[in-house]
Chain A
Amino acid sequence: GAVVSQHPSWVICKSGTSVKIECRSLDFQATTMFWYRQFPKKSLMLMATSNEGSKATYEQGVEKDKFLINHASLTLSTLTVTSAHPEDSSFYICSAPAGITNYGYTFGSGTRLTVV
């Protein structure tokens, strides 16, 4: 139980275009979703926290107008990278508190974004 499905698993896009990444909670309601970014050989860095029905909270240094987060339902949170540039190429991962003992947080499988 407590599965988060993340799509796409990888995407290649041209500079200047926008890319949407979706995370769906399959068997539980995710009122909160955390979005992380991971550069090669580095750790996961929190970008923002989305809450269903309200505005996302962004970490310092993360441009909210560039990384648009929508959490319109209890089972879907999306991250849109707008006007993508090569430096946005990274691995993006979502995570939700699953509220289950020993598995307090569940992670999506990640999205590899390559901007060319």
Chain B
Amino acid sequence: GESVGLHLPTLSVQEGDNSIINCAYSNSASDYFIWYKQESGKGPQFIIDIRSNMDKRQGQRVTVLLNKTVKHLSLQIAATQPGDSAVYFCAENRDSGNTPLVFGKGTRLSVIA
């Protein structure tokens, strides 16, 4: 569960560099994972998802890697742009569909122009 009192970790990257955001999940039974981007004052925006029968999935400029052995998820953003600055959350779910997502702590990405 969420640890009360901790602030979001921050990742600062230069524009054009690649970003890697990491997430550790807790439930070994989780079989569906999603990365969300959240800008200030807005709801989460879907980026990419992956199911537990895969270890890698690519989208446009983004790649998600899943390591079930160590329960680790990462989001790679290629050629990071200023518009990528936001808070990124991983979310996990078991029996995707009518059960709620459980969100990770989040990472703030700051892109330096």
Mark A residues whose CB is within 8 Å of B: 6, 31-32, 34, 36, 41-46, 49, 91, 93, 95, 97, 99, 102-105, 107-110, 112
Mark B residues whose CB is within 8 Å of A: 2, 7-8, 32, 34, 41-46, 49, 89, 93, 96-98, 100-106
B98 contacts which chain A residues (CB < 8 A)? 31-32, 97
CA A112 – CA B41 in complex, angstroms?
Answer: 8
- Which 6 A-B pairs give the minimum distances between C-beta atoms? A107-B43, A34-B100, A44-B103, A110-B43, A43-B103, A109-B43
Determine the main DSSP class of A at the interface with B: strand
Nearest residue (CB) in A for B1 is A45
A41/B97 in contact, CB under 8 A: no
Nearest residue (CB) in A for B97 is A97
Q: List 28 A-B contacts (CB under 8 A).
A: A6-B43, A31-B98, A34-B100, A41-B7, A41-B8, A42-B2, A42-B8, A43-B89, A43-B104, A43-B106, A44-B89, A45-B2, A46-B102, A95-B100, A97-B97, A102-B49, A103-B46, A104-B93, A104-B96, A104-B97, A105-B34, A105-B46, A107-B43, A107-B44, A109-B42, A109-B43, A110-B43, A112-B41
Determine the main DSSP class of B at the interface with A: loop
| Minimum C-beta distance from A103 to chain B (A) | 6
| Minimum C-beta distance from B43 to chain A (A) | 4
A91 contacts which chain B residues (CB < 8 A)? 41
A44/B44 in contact, CB under 8 A: yes
| Minimum C-beta distance from A64 to chain B (A) | 16
- Known contacts A43-B89, A45-B2, A110-B42; 11 further A-B pairs (Cβ under 8 A): A32-B98, A42-B2, A44-B89, A44-B103, A93-B44, A95-B101, A97-B97, A97-B98, A104-B97, A109-B42, A109-B43
